[in-house]
């Protein structure tokens, strides 16, 4: 390992626990962050000589706390700094604090730290930016880059979000069981948001935004280590792993979208798939289904199919049916219709999405999917109209390019491909 | 004499390695492993999936299935099996059979990420 790479890795992995505990001590996010920064500076100074401490997080918490206390005293009165004998004898103290941090506290510390980032008043983008800055410790510059905005704009966004969180006064007492599970739901949703921010990138920005997906997976694994028996957290982690496993196959050299059935499956990441499948297996044993588990199970069926034609569409149709009950949404029905078109043909699928038209009249995918069904039914003029509408609604150039490919195919062949339902 | 070398590290720390760093470490390890392979001294090598993918079976009566890795410190690691299973349920069935034959203690069931079966001369 290079000289400081191990320190960077140690600081990154200790950060959620350390900042979470410091937040509990100081009850103020800025103070906690500053104390943590001070502890990191000290680590950079002393670790290269002394080697890593046995428990990096406990070391950082204790050093950070002492630094923070000094800071509070200094700003309160201009009194002379006390001799900090507390940190002169780090080794003994480190052992002592490690005993006290037996894990019962830090689980709630990390959850609280994640939870304050997903305050309902914060718009999604601010929640994500807060989590990446405060929990993951990404620099403002890194976050700005992933969001494709200027550093100054991102700095302002985070400052504003922090101010709002400070007003919200999240309680610092140990949460009860009900509150804990409510927090867990919000935090899981926020992690999924972070992931989607990276996953929904178009081909030309996918590489820049991939760290968002990786960070979401890291946070999700962290959450699962803290809450080992929560099937929905297993489901969430599995879902992220299974989706991210396809990253290398999702775009062509020009950045255009490659649909699932056209992807080169040899490019899928087998290690991530194995982990995702193992987690969904674990989750299913609990027989307490939920939206993340169902979505992960759908993803798992795609991952298990070596060739597109091996896909168990009937099972996917059933799973989307279950998801429709748990999370009724026209978008879920639209996704289900794709499975239905494979099982029962394009007419059944078209009948299914027809009633969604009023609610999805501005949704790109609705017209893309509708156009595809119409094309399969040889209704080329109507298909063309749907595709034109989809292009008008496309969010990225890659989406538009993908639909244009369908249109080109329509123009070229007076007749659509003979295979009605692939 | 065959020796098992069991690998321990801070999982969160290793999980924080960059892809490049991970690949670099694996490359360095491969050099050591290749040497042993050429000498016919290397048996199976496995990289396990994270502990979040682990399930523990307490070999009580009846056996108790717990999410997560084996976390007690009273017991010691005495051996291991590598078994090919369709899914976790099948792996748990195998573990339960083994447990019935030898009650007491626990099995941690952890999916294997990468396995090099090796070719040690016995």
What pLDDT does A374 receive? 95
Chain B CB contacts of A278 below 8 Å: 49, 53, 88, 111
Q: Where are the domains of chain B?
A: 11-116
- The pLDDT of residue A99 is 46
Mutual angle of helices A206-226 and A140-147, in 10-degree steps: 120
Give the number of other Cβ atoms within 10 Å of residue A207's Cβ.
Answer: 12
> Is the residue at A270 inside a domain?
yes
| Upstream peptide bond of A73 is cis (omega within 30 degrees of 0) | no
Q: Which of A241, A257, A289 is the last residue of a domain?
A: A289
Angle between helices A29-50 and A5-26 (to 10 degrees): 140
Q: How many CB pairs under 8 A join A and B?
A: 63
Please give the model's pTM, rounded to 2 decimal places: 0.85
At A339, list the tokens: 């499975």
CA angle A81, A83, A87 (to 5 degrees): 115
> Domain B11-116 adopts which CATH fold?
Alpha-Beta Plaits (3.30.70)
Say which of B13, B52, B67 has its CB closest to residue A221. B52
Yes or no: say if A208 and A201 are a contact pair by the CB < 8 Å rule: yes
Same domain, A280 and A207: no
Q: Which pLDDT value is given to residue A284? A: 94
Given a cut of 50, the residues of chain A with pLDDT beneath it are 1, 79-82, 84-89, 98-99, 102, 416, 419-422
Q: How far is CA A282 from CA A162, A366, A420, B68, in A?
A: 37, 34, 38, 10
Measured between alpha carbons, how far is B23 from B21 in angstroms, rounded to an integer?
5
User: How many angstroms separate the Cα of B49 from the Cα of each of A161, B11, B56?
Assistant: 37, 10, 14
- A128 vs A344: CA distance, rounded Å: 40
Residues of chain B with pLDDT under 50: none
Asked, for residue A400, whether it belongs to a domain, the answer is no
Give yes or no for A274 touching B (CB within 8 A): yes
Q: Nearest CA to A126 among A218, A190, A215? A: A190
Query: Is A29 a domain residue?
Result: yes
ipTM metric: 0.87
Interface test with B, best of A282, A286, A288, A293 (most B CBs within 10 A): A282
Nearest to A420 by CA among A317, A315, A331, A350: A350
pLDDT at A379: 94
Is A80 in the same domain as A58? yes
Residue B94: per-residue pLDDT? 97
One domain, residues A217 and A188: yes
Q: Are residues A27 and A68 in the same domain?
A: yes
A133 and A222 housed in the same domain: yes
Quick check: is A388 in a domain?
A: no
Helix, strand, coil proportions of chain A in percent (round to 5)?
Answer: 75, 0, 25
Tell me if A354 is assigned to some domain.
no
Please spell the DSSP secondary structure of B20-84, one letter per residue.
Answer: HHHHHHHHHHHHHHHHHHHTT----EEEEPPGGG-EEEE-SSS-EEEES----SSS---------
Please state, in angstroms and as integers, the Cα–Cα distance from residue A112 to each residue in A21, A22, A180, A267, B109, following that order.
10, 12, 9, 38, 31
Chain A contact for B29 (CB, 8 A cutoff): no
Instruction: Looking at the complex, report in whole angstroms how far the Cα of residue A103 sits from the nearest Cα belonging to chain B.
Output: 13
From the list A400, A401, A334, A412, the residue with the least C-alpha distance to A373 is A334
Residues A140 and A198 in one domain: yes
Secondary structure letter of residue A83 according to DSSP:
P
Q: Does A3 touch chain B (CB under 8 A)?
A: no
For A31, A411, B56, B109, the CA distances from B63, given in Å and listed in that order, are 48, 65, 10, 14
Are residues A86 and A146 located together in one domain of the fold?
no
Do residues A47 and A90 both lie within one domain?
yes
Which one of A48, A74, A102 terminates a domain? A102
| Neighboring chain B residues of A222 at a CB cutoff of 8 Å | 12
Asked if B55 has any chain A CB less than 8 Å from its own CB, the reply is: yes
Q: What angle do CA A331, A341, A333 make, to 5 degrees?
A: 20
Determine contact: B28 vs chain A, CB below 8 A.
Answer: no
**CA of A229 vs chain B CAs: smallest distance (Å):** 6
Check: CB of residue A127 under 8 Å from CB of residue A119: yes
Domain around A29: 5-102
A142 touches chain B (CB under 8 A): no
Choosing from A289, A317, A338, the residue where a domain stops is A289
User: CA-to-CA distance for A350 and A356, rounded, in angstroms?
Assistant: 10
Tell me, yes or no, if A271 comes closer than 8 A to chain B by beta carbon: yes
**Domain presence at residue A164:** yes
Count of residues making up chain B: 122
Whether residue A235 lies inside any domain: the answer is yes
Count the neighbouring beta carbons within 10 Å of the beta carbon of residue B47. Answer: 13
The total domain count for chain A is: 3
């Amino acid at each position: 390992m290079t000289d400081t790479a191990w320190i960077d890795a140690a600081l990154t992995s200790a950060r959620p626990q350390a900042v979470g505990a410091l937040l509990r001590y100081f009850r103020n996010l800025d103070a906690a962050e500053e104390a943590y920064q001070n502890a990191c500076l000290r680590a950079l100074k002393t670790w290269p000589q002394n080697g890593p401490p046995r428990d990096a997080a406990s070391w950082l918490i204790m050093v950070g706390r002492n630094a923070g206390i000094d800071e509070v005293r200094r700003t309160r009165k201009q009194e002379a700094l006390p001799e900090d004998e507390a940190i002169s004898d780090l080794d003994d103290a480190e052992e002592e604090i490690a005993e006290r941090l037996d894990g019962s506290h830090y689980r709630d510390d990390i959850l609280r730290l994640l939870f304050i980032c997903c305050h309902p008043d914060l718009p999604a983008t601010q929640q994500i930016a807060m989590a990446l800055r405060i929990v993951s410790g990404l620099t403002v510059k890194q976050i700005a880059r992933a969001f494709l905005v200027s550093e100054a704009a991102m700095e302002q966004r985070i400052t504003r979000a922090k101010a709002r969180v400070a007003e919200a006064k999240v309680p610092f007492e140990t949460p009860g069981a009900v509150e804990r599970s409510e927090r867990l739901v919000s935090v899981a949703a926020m992690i999924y948001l972070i992931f989607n921010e990276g996953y929904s990138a178009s081909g030309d920005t996918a590489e820049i935004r991939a760290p968002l997906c990786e960070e979401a997976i890291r946070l999700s694994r962290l959450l699962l280590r803290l809450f080992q028996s929560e099937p929905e957290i297993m489901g969430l982690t599995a879902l992220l792993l299974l989706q991210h496993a396809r990253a290398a196959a999702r775009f062509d050299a020009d950045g255009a979208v490659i649909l699932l059935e056209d992807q080169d499956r040899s490019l899928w990441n087998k290690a991530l798939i194995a982990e995702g499948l193992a987690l969904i297996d674990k989750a299913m044993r609990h027989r307490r289904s939920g939206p993340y588990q169902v979505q992960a199970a759908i993803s798992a069926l795609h991952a298990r199919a070596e060739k597109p034609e091996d896909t168990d569409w009937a099972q996917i149709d059933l799973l989307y049916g279950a998801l429709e009950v748990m999370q009724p949404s026209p978008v879920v029905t639209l996704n289900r219709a794709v499975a239905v078109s494979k099982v029962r043909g394009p007419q059944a699928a078209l009948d299914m999405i027809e009633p969604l038209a009023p609610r999805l009249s501005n949704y790109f995918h609705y017209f893309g999917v509708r156009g595809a069904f119409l094309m399969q039914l040889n209704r080329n003029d109507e298909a063309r109209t749907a595709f034109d509408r989809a292009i008008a609604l496309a969010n990225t150039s890659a989406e538009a390019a993908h639909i244009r490919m369908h249109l080109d195919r329509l123009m070229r062949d007076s007749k659509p491909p003979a295979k009605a339902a692939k | 004499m065959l020796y098992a070398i069991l690998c321990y590290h801070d999982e969160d720390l290793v999980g924080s390695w960059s892809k490049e760093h991970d690949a670099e470490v694996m490359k360095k390890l491969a050099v050591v492993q290749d040497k042993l392979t050429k000498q016919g001294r290397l048996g199976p090598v496995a990289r396990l999936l994270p502990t979040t993918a682990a399930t523990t079976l307490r070999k009580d009566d009846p056996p108790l299935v717990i999410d997560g890795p084996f976390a007690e410190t009273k017991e010691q690691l005495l051996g291991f099996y590598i078994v090919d299973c369709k899914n976790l349920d099948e792996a748990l069935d195998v573990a339960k059979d083994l447990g019935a034959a030898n009650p007491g203690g626990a099995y941690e069931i952890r999916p294997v990420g990468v396995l090099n079966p090796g070719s040690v001369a016995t």
